[in-house]
Amino acid sequence: MALVELVNNVFDPAELMPREELTALQLERLRDTMGRLAEVPFYKYAFTRGRITPDDIKSLDDVRRLPFTTKDDMRHNYPLGLAAVPRSEMARIHGSSGTTGKPTFVGYTHKDLDTWAGLCARFLVAGGLRPDHMVQVAFGYGLFTGGFGLHYGIEKVGAAIIPAAAGGTLRQIMLINDLKPDVIICTPSYALNIAEVARAEGYMPEDLSLKYGHFGGEPWTEDMRQAIERDLDIHAFNNYGLSEIIGPGVSGECMYHNGMHFQEDHFIVECIDPDTLEPMPDGERGELVLTSLTKEAMPILRYRTRDLATVDHSPCPCGRTGARMSRVVGRTDDMLIVRGANIFPSQIEEALLRIEGTAPQYVIEVNRPGALDEMTVRVEIRPQDFSDKMSQMQALRDRIATVLHSATGISINVELIEPQTLERSIGKAKRVIDNRDKTS
Ligand code: DLL
């Protein structure tokens, strides 16, 4: 049986390429990329200072001689100072929202847009998308890369698109009910939101036409996947990407859910210790560092993603040879240090979702009322578990506090919240409120 189902216009033989050939292709493409970057002042300076030319890149280890690129470098070259083509050759600009201040812009040529659509198409096909499917895209269409990136990927596969965009949850449900799409695409937190509103509108999961969901753009846990699969009666797939590198399409899961296959013919992947910058072996958590190999408008060398994950090069039964990344367990910049403990929001999510009675809706707040930091987790109770009996709620609260303590090693205040009270997300959920900057 063919393990990789081929959808003709999407399949690229590079997906099954033996490692040796893949490495050779990467090296050739890396040298080309360096050539394209030779006149970009930031890289020109770095190449001159490091006395490195494309001819010096003889093996993948030589990648380590290249400079890192960071979010700060992008900011210093705002808005399009890292572009490797003139403005006249740009076909589109996207950007990441940026939590503070201005977005980071990235440019695409027409060829980049075509490459990007192909990359999205590949992971969608790996996760079950077929030309006869209808797909509802509930990602924002705009500077954010989610909407347009996936849109053109679906088009490449040949499936029908409902470009619903993010938000208008009742309208999303109307579209699902009336047009009967097979697939939904959005952030995992928005998928939960849609499921919840659908239920409140009287739809049972099995009433909905959806069979598959492709989710990405924010961290989520395995328990969250199970909640989404149950509440929408679908198979849920994870996909990862970031605007600086291209947007969605960097990696995605196949039917085996063994981690997300990197599309290594287009990106070089490194996993490093964020402090020592040394490479991490397979299976050990580190920061992903990505180099784009085929982008024309704004190629990026060794981008420090700040996303922490593990990488696995072992074979996958699907036959794809691209290494796989684990879920993103956190970002180097969203790790909370509270009373000496390093805590990722994903640890809290994982613990909460295992407790009977809690809904997958929570917010973490950190304050510094005196000398010591205090962490509070507000979590909603599932409607069927909500009770007027103080003793029952108290017991549940204590249970949650105990579980969180053992997951994190610190005492955390727990506040139980009535069902449906926390703000729902339509895009990337904001789970952490850190008030310490304001109070210290
Ligand atoms: O979120 C690109 C994207 C859109 C990917 C839609 C997948 C689907 P940015 O807005 O630049 O781009 O944000 C990139 O989002 O560095 C991660 O921290 C996070 N992220 C993206 N996908 C995942 C995922 C898009 N599957 C940042 N799991 C990245 C965990 C993710 N985090």
Using one digit for the tens of pLDDT, what is the confidence trace for 384-433?
888 889 999 999 999 999 999 999 999 999 999 999 999 999 999 999 99
CA distance 437 to 239: 33
Asked if residue 307 has its Cβ within 6 Å of ligand 1, the reply is yes
How close is the Cα of 270 to the center of ligand 1, in Å?
17
Identity of residue 134 = M
How close is the Cα of 334 to the center of ligand 1, in Å?
14
Residue with CA closest to ligand 1 atom 29: 242
Asked if residue 218 has its Cβ within 6 Å of ligand 1, the reply is yes
DSSP assignment of 121-190 equals HHHHHHTT--TT-EEEE-SPPSSSHHHHHHHHHHHHHT-EEE---S--HHHHHHHHHHH--SEEEE-HHH
**Res 43: pLDDT:** 98
**Res 283: pLDDT:** 98
Asked if residue 331 has its Cβ within 6 Å of ligand 1, the reply is yes
- On whether the 336-439 domain is CATH 3.30.2230.10, my answer is no
How close is the Cα of 189 to the center of ligand 1, in Å?
13
CA distance 202 to 170: 12
Q: Which residue has the tokens 């952490």?
A: 432
Which atom of ligand 1 lies at the shortest distance from residue 214's CA? 8
Residue with CA closest to ligand 1 atom 16: 242
* DSSP element (H, E) containing 338: strand 336-338
Asked if residue 147 has its Cβ within 6 Å of ligand 1, the reply is no
Residue with CA closest to ligand 1 atom 28: 219
Asked if residue 182 has its Cβ within 6 Å of ligand 1, the reply is no
Q: Which residue has the tokens 């990441």?
A: 96
Ramachandran region of residue 323, left (φ > 0), alpha (ψ -120 to 50) or beta?
A: beta
Q: Which two tokens stand for residue 106?
A: 């990235």
Which atom of ligand 1 lies at the shortest distance from residue 97's CA? 10
Contact 253, 125 (CB under 8 A): no
CA distance 22 to 15: 9
**Res 1: pLDDT:** 36
In angstroms, what CA-CA distances link 176 with 193, 198, 413?
Answer: 14, 10, 39
Tell me the per-residue pLDDT of 112-158, one tens digit each, with 9 for 90 and over. 999 999 999 999 999 999 999 999 999 999 999 999 999 999 999 99
- pLDDT-above-70 percentage for the chain: 97
In sign, the C-alpha dihedral spanning 64, 67, 71, 72 is: positive
In angstroms, what CA-CA distances link 30 with 53, 83, 292?
Answer: 11, 17, 8
Which atom of ligand 1 lies at the shortest distance from residue 328's CA? 30
Question: Which residues face 253 on adjacent strands?
Answer: 260
* HSE-CB of 69 using CA atoms within 13 angstroms: 25
Query: Average pLDDT for residues 162-191, to the nearest whole number?
Result: 98
Whole-model pTM: value is 0.96
State the maximum Cα–Cα separation within the chain, in Å, rounded to a whole number: 73
Averaged confidence pLDDT in the chain: 95
Asked if residue 153 has its Cβ within 6 Å of ligand 1, the reply is no
CA distance 324 to 192: 26
Asked if residue 221 has its Cβ within 6 Å of ligand 1, the reply is no
Which sequence spans correspond to the domains of the chain?
3-18+106-331, 336-439
Contact 338, 208 (CB under 8 A): no
Contact 380, 361 (CB under 8 A): yes
Asked if residue 243 has its Cβ within 6 Å of ligand 1, the reply is yes
Phi, psi of 277 (to 5 degrees): 70, 10
Query: Average pLDDT for residues 87-114, to the nearest whole number?
Result: 91
Q: What is residue 291's DSSP assignment?
A: E
**Res 99: pLDDT:** 61
pLDDT band of 5, cuts 50, 70, 90: low
CATH superfamily, with its number, for domain 3-18+106-331: ANL, N-terminal domain (3.40.50.12780)
Provide the strand spans (E) within 368-423.
374-381, 413-417
Which atom of ligand 1 lies at the shortest distance from residue 307's CA? 18
How close is the Cα of 216 to the center of ligand 1, in Å?
6
Asked if residue 241 has its Cβ within 6 Å of ligand 1, the reply is yes
How close is the Cα of 117 to the center of ligand 1, in Å?
16
Q: Which two tokens stand for residue 342?
A: 């390093």
98: pLDDT strictly greater than 80? no
Residue of 260, 307, 326 with the most ligand 1 atoms within 8 Å of its CB, for mutation: 307
